[in-house]
Amino acid sequence: MKIFSEELVNKAVSDLHVADLSKATIGEVLLVAQCLEKETGIPFIRMDQGSPGLPVNAYGVEAEKAALDRGVGSQYPAAAGVPELKHEASRFVKAFMDIDVSARSCVPTVGSVAGSFGSFIACTQRLPGKDKVLFIDPGFPIQKSQLRIMGVEWKEFDIYEYRGQALRAKLEEMLSDGDVAAIVYSNPNNPAWICLEEEELKIIGELATAYDVIVMEDLAYFCMDYRRDLGHPFQPPYPPTVARYTDNYILMLSASKIFSYAGQRIAMVCISDALFERQYPAMAQRYKDSGVFGETLIASILYMITSGCTASTQYAYAEMLRLSTEGKLNFVEDTREYAVRAEKMKKIFTDNGFHIVYDEDVSQKVGDGFFFTIGYGSMEGGELLRELLYYGVSSISLALTGSGQKGVRACTSRMKDELYPVLQERMKAFREDHSIK
């Protein structure tokens, strides 16, 4: 039995001017769920927005307060970032990835969204004729929205059928025209929680060098592959990264999820030193500056977008990175709760006829973490999104993420202990009302 009637859902969709619920954005689904909750007083199981669901890191808060007490709020921060943060970011990358990136090449951004926005601009303007972005999907929908703002075209493919060595031929096909400036993906993946493995990243790195393409590696969920014992400074195992296989990389490291510091909007772009120092005549001509990639990105692009990052927040991020590198803060254990939630939620769904869509990596089953993907019989993602809303569960269609598979993305961040019986009851009702085709 449905909790929310079709009439009630349709009214919410109409009142909010959502053009097509089956293709609704994260923000639109969020608004529909909030509207229905307000109208009826019945709580939703919120699986739509990937906002942290754990307490903010207290060390960061105290460091930020101390920075404000020192008076840093009275001065503009340097566009390249405060020295303390740049130094700690360099140490952090070495400690947890075993990759050498100088402090100079570590640049704070107002969240990874600002980092990717600026990086897309720099990557697509550095070489004439290389002006497209290749998405290894599924991925973060906002990044394509950024390209729409810029008027930049992109290519994309769903990696579902191209894991392992099959990735090489597909990438060669996508890069063969010579017009791709950058490749972007997240690892672990939003929304599928798949993890690209070393052999796949080696392929990406080798082809990035061969075709002179910059790889933008989004590490928003850094070390959150809980199948391995990651997160011990200066000790293997280290998370896989394309940085081992090419100098053409930009790593995006956000504080939002690993430190639950999303509200302060702080991240780092860590650029390979070789790329940071590379000089591009086309950029020099456009910006009337040196044309050196890193310097142009900082002074002529990122500064024009945000004028630097909030000074006090930079000190907070620096402290959290420092404590992690010194082994005094275990950010991996702090976030492991997401894996616990995913395991419980997956069981409820699969016990009631759902299946996990992206269920395998190359060598093992997909792990449990911040996101997972579910399908139901042969339902299209947009249809499943709508049907779940009737039962008080919000999600987003996989089609929105560039996926070619049928299903929806589920986020674990807002799940609470008291909601598991509610989810079980609602999904039992869902199964009773829907025969699997």
Q: What is the DSSP string of 29-79?
A: HHHHHHHHHHHH-PPPEE-SS----SPPPHHHHHHHHHHHHTTGGGSPPPT
Weakest-pLDDT range from 32-36, 153-157, 322-326: 32-36
Report the 10 Å Cβ neighbour count for 432.
11
The overall average pLDDT reported for the chain is: 96
CA distance 352 to 332: 31
User: 437 pLDDT exceeds 70?
Assistant: no
Q: Identify which of 268, 264, 255 has the alpha carbon closest to the alpha carbon of residue 310.
A: 264
Q: How much is the average pLDDT of 127-148?
A: 97
Residue with tokens 């069981």: 347
CA distance 52 to 68: 25
CA dihedral (114, 118, 124, 126) in degrees, to 10, reads -160
Q: Identify which of 325, 362, 401 has the alpha carbon closest to the alpha carbon of residue 141.
A: 401
**For residue 274, is it left (φ>0), alpha (ψ between -120 and 50) or beta?**
alpha
Q: How much is the average pLDDT of 254-280?
A: 98
**Domains of the chain as residue ranges with CATH:** 6-42+336-433 (3.90.1150.100), 58-325 (3.40.640.10)
Q: How much is the average pLDDT of 193-197?
A: 98
CA distance 19 to 198: 42
* Digit-coded pLDDT (tens) for 275-284: 999 999 999 9
Cα–Cα–Cα angle for 35, 372, 10, nearest 5°?
25
| Token reading at 68 | 């404000």
Strands lying side by side in the sheet with 267-271: 106-109, 267-271, 249-254, 214-218, 180-186, 132-137, 154-158
Residues 6+ apart with CB under 8 A from 36: 4, 8, 9, 12, 42, 44, 389, 392
Q: Identify which of 197, 238, 227 has the alpha carbon closest to the alpha carbon of residue 368.
A: 227
What pLDDT is attached to residue 78?
93
* Digit-coded pLDDT (tens) for 350-401: 999 999 999 999 989 999 999 999 999 999 999 999 999 999 999 999 999 9
Identity at 295, one-letter amino acid code:
E
CA distance 408 to 395: 6
3 state DSSP class of 157: strand
Residues 6+ apart with CB under 8 A from 265: 110, 111, 114, 256, 309, 310, 313
CB 261 within 8 A of CB 102: no
User: 328 pLDDT exceeds 80?
Assistant: yes
Which phi and psi angles does 216 have, rounded to 5°?
-100, 105
CB 302 within 8 A of CB 107: yes
* Digit-coded pLDDT (tens) for 217-246: 999 999 999 999 999 999 999 999 999 999
Sign, Cα dihedral of 97, 109, 300, 67 = negative
Tell me what percent of the residues of the chain surpass a pLDDT of 70: 100
What pLDDT is attached to residue 436?
83
Q: Binning pLDDT at 50, 70 and 90, where does residue 24 land? A: confident
**pTM (2 decimals)?**
0.96
Q: How much is the average pLDDT of 314-339?
A: 98
What pLDDT is attached to residue 40?
92
CA distance 367 to 344: 13
User: 22 pLDDT exceeds 90?
Assistant: no
* Digit-coded pLDDT (tens) for 57-112: 999 999 999 999 999 999 999 999 999 999 999 999 999 999 999 999 999 999 99
Q: Binning pLDDT at 50, 70 and 90, where does residue 49 land? A: confident
Residues 6+ apart with CB under 8 A from 273: 100, 101, 102, 104, 105, 247
CB 105 within 8 A of CB 294: yes
